[in-house]
Homo-oligomer: A and B are copies of this chain.
Amino acid sequence: MTEKNYPKYTSAWLPYPMPGKAASPKDAARLELDAGLAYYGFDTPVILREEDLGEGYRIEVSEEAISIFAKEAGLLYGAFALLRDIALGKKPESCVQQPVYALRMLNHWDNMDGTVERGYAGRSLFFEGSRFDYDPERLRMYARILSSAGINTVALNNVNVHAPAQHLIDDLLPEVVEVAGILRPYGIRLLITVDFASPTYNGLSTADPLDEAVIAWWKQRTAAIYQQIPDLAGFVVKADSEYRPGPITYGRNQAEGANLLARALKPFGGTLVWRCFVYNCRQDWRDQKTDRPCAAYNTFMPLDGQFDDNVLLQIKNGPVDFQVREPVSPLLFSLKHTSRALELQLAQEYTGQQIDLYYMQEVWQEIFDLMPRNNISAICAVTNLGRDENWAGHDLAMANLYAYGRLCWNPDCLGEDMADQWAKLTYGKDCPAVDTITHMLHQSRSTYQKYNAPLGIGWMVEPHSHYGPNPEGYEYALWGTYLRADRNGVGIDRSSNGTGFAAQYPEELKKLYEDPTTCPEEMLLFFHRMPYDHVMKDGRTMIQRIYDDHFEGAEGAEQLLASWKTLEGQLPGDVFARVLDKMEKQVINARNWRDIVNTYFHRYSGAEDQKGRKIY
């Protein structure tokens, strides 16, 4: 193999040499095509033609030429799509494409001190030492990677706005303007994550959303921002959540809080993205009535219809917090008069922290299998990116970013093998490692889930770090994250006989979840408290299923490692060694999960493993 066949990994899935600076999306499209077509040895001329299709594009293929009809970013999306087909060895075909969602967002949880909350890929791409600090070339590289997948909106700063990030809307605005300028030619717009209490840092005595001075302050400030960044996508807010300030502080509800900002944004076409991650993070474990999964629905459903039309409620995919197995959030089914964004997490907080392999396409497939795509009007994901050379810490974790961008553009892509596409785009379609990598990615989720917290129960993780098992680490904590295991069984009854969470779903799903005999088994312990000797559909007891899963999961991790080892010499640069290091750590983690979870339940249940395997 020659170096030419294998891109420098920092190019992610765009292996050809990065073109120079572009002045506009159209300019970028031309530059990318010139570089990419040459790299792939594609001779047919490609012509860019102006046509207003919003962000969409139309491709016409003839014998002599390929024409992309679009305007602005649409041209760039068309160019990237064409280059993707060529890279994958597909014959370009005429087509018309429109993105399904207008806002295709990434949230960075980056702090200005350079740390990244729940970041597993090194320090912040944007900040260091309480100020902006980035390589403009790398930022441009970042922008074209995002754009090539279909992402068009990013929030740079953490939803927990730590100092001095509250000044991104005033003192630090000139530097935000600079970043916006770097991203703009790639069709990417900024969101700014704001602190609801901002007026109080600026001389006002309150941030009460109904206070006239507060209203005026936000209007004035927002206008000043739009003067500098006319295409700003809007604001993101985490309010009244995990000690963040919000309208509740002032006796106002979430709609009153959101509308305050939405009205300031309205004249400029901006969107107010309001997170629904609101729950009691000071719960007493003795309180068995309060049930954290119920919180978002209980808070937001009564307000449905009261939010302005430029408010977008951002709802995590599950009702709790990105656990390894959660049902789809009931809010994603029930809100009727409010715009919703689905929030996913590419950062593998609970899913292996970019040490363990965890490819997410199947997770998203399951969401969209249940949830009509029109239930939402936007998608957001917490990024998995940082300053590491390979962007995501684990080289293979970039498959999630790729697949995520495609998902935002059109969930139909879930029908495609995006793992295979990503591997081919990244390492070359003829790279002998592609099939193994694709297979590993497809195995990864089931492997990880098997050795993790069983059957939807969640939260068996090490407190704070969230990596590795600590079954009762959170059992008596304030976060509403309880297993309530005892010698008889484990889990919380969330049916109508219990906390009633299942009743937040539409009738059909409610019926499915309410009844342990119909509840999907991988969600059994999310919805029900079950005895260890419960008989599963295949005849095994629940405890035996837990044991089996954990032995299989740890074996699976070993198999992933063995698969990777077959790839030595087939990958460019340090990719092999870097991933090998991760996978060796994953094997240890998987064994820890296996032994700790099995021991934990063995100690409670007293049940012996029917296969006589070692339980400590």
Contacts and interface: CB of A to CB of B under 8 A. Distances in A.
Interface of A: 285-286, 288, 463, 469-473, 475-477, 485-488, 592, 595-596, 599, 602-606, 616
A471 B595 CA distance: 19
20 contacts: A285-B616, A286-B616, A288-B616, A463-B463, A463-B473, A470-B472, A470-B473, A470-B475, A470-B477, A473-B473, A476-B592, A476-B596, A476-B599, A486-B602, A486-B604, A487-B487, A487-B604, A487-B605, A487-B606, A603-B604
Contacts of A473: 463, 470, 472-473
A340 to B, nearest CB: 37
Nearest to A597: B476
Contacts of A472: 470-473, 475
A80 to B, nearest CB: 47
A606 B486 CA distance: 8
Copies of this chain, whole number: 2
Contact of A603 (B485, B602, B616): B485
A472 B462 CA distance: 11
Contacts of A592: 476
A286 B592 CA distance: 10
Contacts of A477: 470
Interface of chain A, helix or strand or loop or mixed? loop
A286 B288 CA distance: 33
A476 B487 contact: no
Contacts of A606: 486-488
Contacts of A471: 472, 476
A97 to B, nearest CB: 50
Given A288-B616, A472-B473, 8 more contacts: A285-B596, A285-B616, A286-B595, A286-B616, A470-B477, A476-B599, A485-B603, A486-B602
A103 B616 CA distance: 47
Most B CB contacts (10 A, CB to CB) among A472, A476, A603, A616 go to A476
Nearest to A286: B616
A464 to B, nearest CB: 8
A457 to B, nearest CB: 15
Contacts of A602: 486
Contacts of A288: 616
